[in-house]
Amino acid sequence: LELPFQERLERQPWNKDFPLIRDSAKCIKCMRCIQICDKVQSLNIWDLEGTGARSTVNVSRGRKIEQSDCSLCGQCITHCPVGALRERDDTEKVWEAIADKKKVTVAQIAPAVRTAWGEALGLSREEATVGKIADALHKLGVDYVFDTSFSADLTIMEEGNEFLERFTKGETKVRPMFTSCCPGWIRFIKSQYPHLVPQLSTAKSPQQMFGAVMKTYFAESIGVDPENIFTVSIMPCVAKKGESNMELFYEEYAGHDTDVVLTTRELTRMIRSAHIPASSLEDREFDRLMKEYTGAGVIFGVTGGVMEAALRSAYYLVTGKNPDPNAFQAVRNDGKGVKSAEIQIGDAVVKAAVVSGLGNTRRLISQIERGEVHYDFVEVMACPGGCVGGGGQIIHDGEELAYERGQNLYFLDRNMPLRFSHENQDVLKLYADYMERPLSHKAHMLLHTDHNAWEMPKQDR
């Protein structure tokens, strides 16, 4: 059947360096991106412009995407039914690094990636183990593969100690300390509530801590110049691509902690393009030095996980005893946007809150600002359900799988031999051999950041 209508594809210019890419020619004007951004994430990045046949979706208020306060949560990508929105494809940079004889390629795999990568390759949740991702990356040609859960444990050591320091000094009496692991949330607070930036933990995210340790401690241990270490992180997240622009200045080395970030979707595309059958993958161990990780590191990928892991170690640091690892289930993800709990640690009571989704976060911050609620410690994840529901995860149109994926991480935590970050022997060895102790001068140089070192476009709301 011949259609008598003329096909008119729109071609709007777009900054291809930005981590979020829009192909206007594919857009069907369904406005799902507008809805998710307005109603769930409360950022109003997209809007309808033009009239009649010229109606189209574009960045709101006539801005370019790089001038907007986009948090890069990527929820518009996972809700677009036609692929008009996608992440910037960085796979070519990884292929080039693998082919470069001078470069030592080092990959890290985020906790949430293991819950979703198998969905694209026909593997069940039981079959799609993280050991098989390690095998796939080695088969692609990566030299060393580690689990970001290792640096999640490292983050807990720094962030947990930092929280106890602020809490005991009384700094959380007026406003809470906020976690700093989620770059989507960092972009959000910097553009929407810049006056609250001092309340953020100064600890880098696990991704950035991992890169910093790779280019110092690990580079020294294998006798390679940090310039020749190429760090790749596999993340469930688009905002991590923006975060990797952060710079690492340490002694004479100046560069980036993380060189390239690939989403879960990019990883599965690389596996497919290399014609590696999923059925041929076997469980492979991680490489030495950063091999060990705990259940506390694994649950970082689900909303409430960072808080629970931090409380497990904070309890130990205060009392000298381990709590029951399941003692802090009150902050676990149950599909609700905000969870709060009062936790007894020694003689003190810590008021903790966990929130996921930026619309929920805006409501919670408004309550804190108005004095309606008070917390000492608040964990924020930009994506509903946490990283398991991240903007870089495998897309199933019309299905939300964050809750099931999160349960998968809790299952892995329950069955881990170690469930406390402060018992990770590889982290303790890192401190003994290199960092001295949490919050030491060297730890501050490598594992902490100045949140004022870069600016977000400020918005007049």
Q: Which of 159, 141, 157 is nearest to 98 (CA)?
A: 141
Report whether pLDDT(270) > 90: yes
**Looking at the structure, do residues 83 and 157 belong to the same domain, yes or no?**
no
What does the longest C-alpha to C-alpha distance in the chain come to? 78
Last residue of a domain, one of 401, 423, 450: 401
Contact (CB, 8 A) for 302 and 417: no
- What one-character-per-residue DSSP string does 173-188 give? TTSPEEP---HHHHHH
pLDDT of 100-131, one tens digit each? 999 999 999 999 999 999 999 999 999 999 99
Distances 319 to 174, 311, 431 between C-alpha atoms, Å: 25, 12, 21
Tell how strand 377-381 and strand 348-356 pair up: parallel
Q: Which two tokens stand for residue 292?
A: 């060990």
Neighbouring CB atoms inside 10 A of 455's CB total 9
pLDDT recorded at residue 333: 78
Per-position b or e across 311-340, b if 16+ CB within 10 A of its CB: bbbbbbbbeeeebebeebebbbbeeebbbe
CATH number at residue 158: 3.40.950.10
Domain that holds residue 171: 153-201+296-401
Q: Which two tokens stand for residue 444?
A: 């501050």
pLDDT recorded at residue 325: 94
Q: How confident is the model at residue 68 (pLDDT cuts 50, 70, 90)?
A: very high
* Residues in Cβ contact with 340 at an 8 Å cutoff, skipping those fewer than 6 apart: 331, 351, 352, 353, 354, 373, 375
In a domain, 329, yes or no: yes
In a domain, 259, yes or no: no
pLDDT of 131-169, one tens digit each? 999 999 999 999 999 999 999 999 999 999 999 999 999
Q: Which of 422, 349, 357 is nearest to 153 (CA)?
A: 422
**Looking at the structure, do residues 197 and 339 belong to the same domain, yes or no?**
yes
pLDDT recorded at residue 251: 73
Q: How confident is the model at residue 289 (pLDDT cuts 50, 70, 90)?
A: confident
**Looking at the structure, do residues 168 and 74 belong to the same domain, yes or no?**
no
Least-confidence region, from 198-212, 250-264, 386-400, 412-426 = 250-264
How many domains is the chain partitioned into structurally? 2
Proportion of the chain in helix, strand, coil states, percent, rounded to 5: 45, 15, 40
Q: Around 347, how many Cα atoms within 13 Å sit in the side-chain half-sphere?
A: 1
Q: Which two tokens stand for residue 89?
A: 């494809």
Torsions phi, psi for 73 (to 5 deg): -65, -25
CATH number at residue 83: 3.30.70.20
pLDDT recorded at residue 65: 96
pLDDT of 325-383, one tens digit each? 999 999 997 777 899 999 999 999 999 999 999 999 999 999 999 999 999 999 999 99
pLDDT recorded at residue 315: 95
Average pLDDT (422-427) is 96
pLDDT recorded at residue 257: 94
**Looking at the structure, do residues 394 and 300 belong to the same domain, yes or no?**
yes
What is the value of pTM for the model shown? 0.95
Last residue of a domain, one of 371, 401, 431: 401
Average pLDDT (195-204) is 96
Contact (CB, 8 A) for 257 and 215: yes
pLDDT of 13-41, one tens digit each? 999 999 999 999 999 999 999 999 999 99
Average pLDDT in the chain: 95
